[in-house]
Amino acid sequence: METKPHTESRDPAPTPLRCRRCQSEMTWPVVCEACHTLYPPREQVDYFELLGVPRRYDLDLEKLRRNFLALNRRIHPDFFSTEEDDVQNASMRIAAQINTAYETLRDPVQRAEYILHVCGGPGRSEDKSVPAELLGAVMTLRDQIDEARQAGDQAALKALNQQVTARYQEVMGRVRALAGRVCDSASEPERFELRQQLNAGQYWSGLLRHLNPS
């Protein structure tokens, strides 16, 4: 069983991969479709590369999903249950990694964070700074929500919900614009703003949960 990482390349369109066992050209970095050899990726694998999509923020989500399913049809542990233990194990680990990669890239916030992570600079968790007026605005709105809730004022709650949703969407629009540029232009002020906006998004989605507890 081959367990070494198969490629060090960060380029989404590298020279074709070849299976070390049968020398066939490989579509996916983790499995050879010709001889079914599995190549469990290293921990820091590039999620874009893993799922066969270009490394950029604006993704074709349908294609991402199609690739995710196509890949699962080749590596899912259920198809390896008649194999030796180490092969079963490898398929399980690959499946787990593919699931993480898919969840990360599918979600707009997580995708932006991931792009920050792969294109250098500290991630959101290492830099908790937020836009200047954010905390004040969040606190004021939270007080208004609690007041409206105590008063049972449904109309006010609805208006507040709209207001918070709009703020969240505004932040996400900014995230989209910035994350789309991070890997290309990669200026530090832009990365800094992206981190700030992502942190702001956390506050707004937290407030939305506070408004609509499940």
Partner 1 sequence: MSTDRTDVIVGIDLGTTNSLVAYADERGPRVIYTSGDGVPDNGMVPSVVAIDPAGGGVEVGASARRHAIERPEVTVYSIKRLMGRGFEDVQGERGRLPYRVVRRPGSEGRDIAAVEIGDRVYSPPEISAFVLADLKRRAERHFERPIRKAIITVPAYFDDAQRQATRDAGRIAGLEVVRIINEPTAAALAYGLDRTEEATVAVYDLGGGTFDVSILRLAGGTFEVLSTHGDTHLGGDDFDWEIIRLVQQEVRQRFGQHLEFPPATLQALRNLAEAVKISLSGQEQVTFEIDLGEGRTFHRQLSRSELEKMIEPYVQRTLDSCTRALADAKLATGQIDQVVLVGGSTRIPYVRRRLEQYFGRQPYSALNPDEVVALGAAVQASVMAGMKREVLLLDVVPLSLGIETLGGAVAKLILRNTRVPCQATEMFTTFIDGQTSIKLTVLQGERELAQDCRSLGEFELRGIPPMPAGAPKVQVTFLIDQNGILHVSAKEQRSGKEASIQVIPAHGLTRDEVRQMEKDAYAHAREDMMAHRLIDVRNQVTFDTAKTEQALAKAGPTLDADLRRRIVEAMANLRKMAETATDPEALNQALQDFDRMTVPLAEHAVAQALKEAQWERHE
Smallest gap from residue 132 Cβ to partner 1 (A): 31
**Is residue 133 close enough to count as binding partner 1 by CB under 8 A?**
no
Q: Describe the crossing of helices 188-211 and 154-182 by its angle, rounded to 10 degrees.
A: 160
Which member of 3, 7, 100, 104 binds partner 1 (CB under 8 A)? 100
**Is residue 76 close enough to count as binding partner 1 by CB under 8 A?**
yes
Ramachandran sector of residue 200 (left: φ over 0; alpha: ψ -120 to 50; beta: rest) = alpha
Number of other CB atoms surrounding residue 11 within 10 Å: 10
**Is residue 82 close enough to count as binding partner 1 by CB under 8 A?**
yes
Look up residue 123 and give its amino acid. G
**Is residue 78 close enough to count as binding partner 1 by CB under 8 A?**
yes
183: exposed, middle or buried (C-beta count within 10 Å: 0-12, 13-18, 19+)? middle
Stretch 32-71: interaction string toward partner 1, x if CB under 8 A:
-------------------------------------x--
**Is residue 125 close enough to count as binding partner 1 by CB under 8 A?**
no
Q: Are 157 and 149 contacting, i.e. CB atoms less than 8 angstroms apart?
A: yes
Residues of the shown chain interacting with partner 1 in the complex, contacts defined by CB under 8 A: 69, 72-73, 76-79, 81-85, 92-93, 95-97, 99-100, 102-103, 214
